[in-house]
Structure 1
């Protein structure tokens, strides 16, 4: 009986060890990277190939490729169901560096593999090489062709709302829309339109855009005009961005008010254009910083 129990214990231990081994193998073996677009100052290393979009705007639903034809497609994890759309990357290869618009998804690209336009590839490597080792990182607050623009999707109406945002430069965190007195949060589709399923009425709409760095801009007077590109008068950052509110002069001169020492800004409150690289990473809580 003792022998039987001993083998029972050994068998149970072996089974437990096998289960633990399988779990560890799953954890340590190949697994998809955290789904998140490149942000902050993290430098990624990998490889680049090239392709031609034939002038089309890619998975991000842009009307067309950028005029300079410098764009890139990312693999599913970095494309992140459209979260990367409209951002920019600085890519460095054997011949130099190029800045590219994230415009498309490369379904077969594993993490670290980016697919450049043939024009962008030619700026960093010899096209006859076909595939080269590169490094790349997000371009924070890049120069964009103009102010924020919006395109209401074909098929949209007062009962189903969908809008594409263009010229935001940094990846977007949220798009909120108001038709009346209350902002409503929209949901991003994988093809980069922001959707409110039950509709927001006939418009016009006020649209509030926030990027991954917390920068925000609000555009007004956007009409329910499907397939038309509507250019706003504001930018998300830089010249033409909406000014931040400041205390009124009368409030600052109030006799009851006592001067208070200014608190030094925390890393998370420093604008990305001025913050050191470490502060940007801390603000973003990026996947790379979290150990993904």
Structure 2
């Protein structure tokens, strides 16, 4: 991101919880309380009766959702350079045209926006960008474009400009779906990255061979879909559903960590080298879970995979703080 004078800053795409100040403040408050009670007891005076603590005001959970299809959003844009990396969405690299965007945490939505596209309009015109990254410091309505994309809509010396943007529905696809099994995966722990889907994804399901039960994978914030107990040794069928209800199934996905496996099935609009149709039935989305962002380095594999179409199938609690020790009740304080 840039301030308009020094150029874009290199930014780590991870969220760091700011706990130090809270812990320090809590420690100071606790120490002060203990010292006060100690001094009062040494002087022989009974400690004053403290008013009961007030319950903490409820904190509204952040609304995590990608930009809604068909909704025009207005805000501002800055720009940055990913250095060719694929961002928090864990893609092996940035798009070849280098037209991409990072969204703030609320719109990145723990990875739910990954792989979608925005049409962004600025002072000089419009550009279409792929959602590839998270901008931890960006408030809702603040998007962070690549330097190349920003130059399409504004003069980079401006640094920050007002923009409008809209999520693209069914953007043209560059090719069929690709699948990348994560490093460290095995028959006992399954993780796959799906790319080339156009619309954001709603669900990914996996089954061993062609006769096993479908198992729902859970999306991580870094855009891999996980089955913690594994999905068997493979090969797999992987059924993919997007937010527009398109659903397709690719077969022959191998347990080949780090390799990009290219199928012959497209998310919509037909296939290359086969007959596949898609159904349009929404399916429940798994709850994303926060996790650290890996930086995979895959090698490409272009072996075509078979594909089939299948009919649609029906489809946090905050940790409690540890109890705080309370001094014994003093006579005369409500007893």
Per the normalisation by structure 1, the TM-score is 0.73
Cα deviation for residue 242 of structure 1 reads 2.5
Cα deviation for residue 146 of structure 1 reads 1.0
Q: Identify the match of residue 276 of structure 2 among 229, 242, 245.
A: 242
Q: Identify the match of residue 224 of structure 2 among 175, 178, 193.
A: 193
Structure 1 alignment gaps of length 5 or more: 1-18, 246-267, 270-292
Contact 1:33 1:111 in 2 (8 A): no
Give the equivalent residue in structure 2 for 1:149: 178
Give the equivalent residue in structure 2 for 1:177: 206
The structure with the largest helix share of the pair is 1
Give the equivalent residue in structure 2 for 1:218: 249
Query: Structure 1 residues 165 and 147 mapped into 2: Cα distance closer, same or farther (>3 Å)?
Result: same
Structural mapping, 1:31-110, within 5 Å: 34-110=63-139
> Runs (4+) of structure 1 moved beyond 4 Å?
none
Structural mapping, 1:266-281, within 5 Å: none
Cα deviation for residue 243 of structure 1 reads 1.5
Cα deviation for residue 32 of structure 1 reads 7.1
Partners of 1:200 and 1:33 in 2: CA distance: 33
Deviations 1:77-120 (A, max 9, x none): 00000000000000000000000000000000000000000000
Aligned residues: 225
* Mapped pair 1:208 → 2:239: yes
Question: Any idea what SS the aligned residue of 1:78 has?
Answer: helix
Contact 1:78 1:84 in 2 (8 A): yes
Question: Any idea what SS the aligned residue of 2:171 has?
Answer: coil
Per the normalisation by structure 2, the TM-score is 0.64
Structure 2 alignment gaps of length 5 or more: 1-53, 282-335
